Chains A and B, each alone.
Chain A
Amino acid sequence: MGPSMLPTIDLNGNVIIVERASVWLQKVSRGDMVVLTSPEDPNKQVIKRIVGMEGESVTYLIKPGESDECQTIVVPKGRVWVQGDNIHDSRDSRVFGAIPYGLVHGKLFWRVWPASRFGSMCNV
């Protein structure tokens, strides 16, 4: 687990339950955190947040922290735009583009550990 989802998921071991039914039933939407196979390395599974579903338009900072320049794109059919919560240190759709929905495998559902942050992962 890297730093790309700070502060939602920190660097100390978190145990989170992932459910697959939502992906299969296509009930994922903008704002959900998902597990996906990285388009850069099929042996790696990464966690990112869905920022745009197909057909939606996404605006993002090209160089966060350095300039305020933005770019807007429309997510193509059959794909989703994912970003890490820590936009300063995250390889996501801003680097590899919108990913095909077939790479999404599960939706983060419930955090079990650490106990101080026990609870649902929806609306987090």
Chain B
Amino acid sequence: MSARSSLWNTAKKCVTIGLIGVTVKDRYVSIAAVRGGSMSPSLNPVTDEVSGSRVSTFDDYVLVEKFCLGRYRFSHGDVVIFTSPTNHKERHIKRIIGLPGDWVGISHIDDVMRVPEGHCWVEGDNLLSSLDSRSLGPIPLGLIRGRVTHVVWPPSRIGRVKREIRQPTVPSY
């Protein structure tokens, strides 16, 4: 009988921890893995921007805070994680360059566009190898799932992810 009751106790503890974990992950903070070198050198730095060969064989893991999702108020330079508009199962990490109402330049067609209401313009830090708003278009703010605040792994790279203000890629004239 004591084996059954200890199994029941373990089961209760697992469910409680699971519920607390899911709540914290959905509403407060979570950890995400960074894949790819599109945010080099801030995240997953690369030695060669074109070939993408990485400095470290391990991916960075970052802390994602969800408090920003209460009012969807972001600042220029915030690094955010968002669901891809073309595949809802994928998530991307990029930096916010333009907020609703901003004018952004699209260099490959020598044009400017205004970021529509409720959307933002995101770009990776490594412009040579980044799938971002330059090809996906402005991203609805409702797709953002959190803001990246710190790198938590590997230990040598633990630190804040800084907010960097950068002008959007403007036409070269």
B87 near A78 (CB under 8 angstroms)? yes
A39 near B142 (CB under 8 angstroms)? yes
Q: How far is the CA of A67 from the CA of B158 in the complex (A)?
A: 62
Q: Is A121 an interface residue (CB 8 A)?
A: no
Chain A residues positioned under 8 Å from B86 (CB to CB): 76-79, 100
How would you classify the secondary structure of chain B's contact residues: helix, strand, loop or mixed?
loop
A100 near B85 (CB under 8 angstroms)? yes
Q: Is B113 an interface residue (CB 8 A)?
A: no
- For window 59-80 of chain A, which residues contact chain B by CB distance below 8 Å? 76-79
A42 near B87 (CB under 8 angstroms)? no
Residue of B nearest to A54 (CB): B86
Q: How far is the CA of A81 from the CA of B33 in the complex (A)?
A: 32
Q: Of B84, B87, B140, which contacts A39 at CB under 8 A?
A: B140
Chain B residues positioned under 8 Å from A101 (CB to CB): 88
Q: Is B58 an interface residue (CB 8 A)?
A: no
Chain B residues positioned under 8 Å from A39 (CB to CB): 118-119, 140, 142
Q: How far is the CA of A101 from the CA of B87 in the complex (A)?
A: 8
Q: Is B129 an interface residue (CB 8 A)?
A: no
Residue of B nearest to A40 (CB): B118
Known: A42-B140, A43-B72, A99-B140. A79 touches B85 (CB 8 A): yes
Q: How far is the CA of A78 from the CA of B119 in the complex (A)?
A: 17
> How distant is B103 from chain A, measured CB to nearest CB, in Å?
19
Chain B residues positioned under 8 Å from A41 (CB to CB): 117-118
B142 near A42 (CB under 8 angstroms)? yes
Chain B residues positioned under 8 Å from A42 (CB to CB): 72, 118, 140-142, 144
Q: How far is the CA of A101 from the CA of B144 in the complex (A)?
A: 13
Q: Is A93 an interface residue (CB 8 A)?
A: no
> How distant is A43 from chain B, measured CB to nearest CB, in Å?
6
Q: Mark B residues whose CB is within 8 Å of A.
A: 71-72, 83-88, 116-119, 140-144
What are 14 contact pairs spanning A and B, CB under 8 A? A37-B142, A38-B142, A40-B117, A42-B142, A77-B87, A79-B85, A100-B83, A100-B84, A100-B88, A101-B88, A102-B85, A102-B88, A102-B142, A103-B143
Q: Mark A residues whose CB is within 8 Å of B.
A: 36-43, 76-79, 99-103
